[in-house]
Structure 1
Amino acid sequence: MFTTKELALIEDEIRAEEITAKTMNWCAAHCNDDELRSLIEHMAESHQKNIIQISTYLNQAKLQ
């Protein structure tokens, strides 16, 4: 089980990953260079995967 502080830190990390992914998607949408846009989109996907992994871990830990 997590302490209240640990849960708050995990939730903060999820929010940070969400903000970063949204920012990366915004940047990609406004990028004119195809290669750079692809790189930024890949980075955004990576942050979105982090959100899923952290959320999955958190949900599994809550069930135990």
Structure 2
Amino acid sequence: MNQLTIRELTMMEDELRAEQITGKTLNWCASQCQDTSTRELLEQMAEQHQLRIAELSQYFNRTNHVQ
């Protein structure tokens, strides 16, 4: 695997933060929603962002390829 630069790692950290904020926002919106189908859709969208967070975190945990 190629080594990542500091800039690339910083960009990945920014993406991780964006995914976290988006997931939290979607969960908050779902909690405010009274329509069941809309709430479920928002919860599903939040879950997909949580899965992306897990994927990125796994990548960071197994990557020691920094230049």
TM-score (norm 2): 0.89
- RCO comparison, higher one (Cα < 8 Å, 6+): 2
Q: TM-score, length-normalised on structure 1?
A: 0.92
State which of 24, 27, 34 in structure 1 corresponds to 2:26.
Answer: 24
1:35 aligns with 2:37: yes
Deviations 1:2-54 (A, max 9, x none): 11100100000000000000000000000010000001000000000000001
Give the match for residue 13 of structure 1: 15
Aligned residues: 63
AA aligned opposite 1:2: L
What amino acid maps onto 1:29 in structure 2? S
Give the drift of 1:60: 1.1
Higher helix share: 1
Q: Which runs of 5+ in 1 are unaligned?
A: none
Alignment RMSD (CA, Å): 1.1
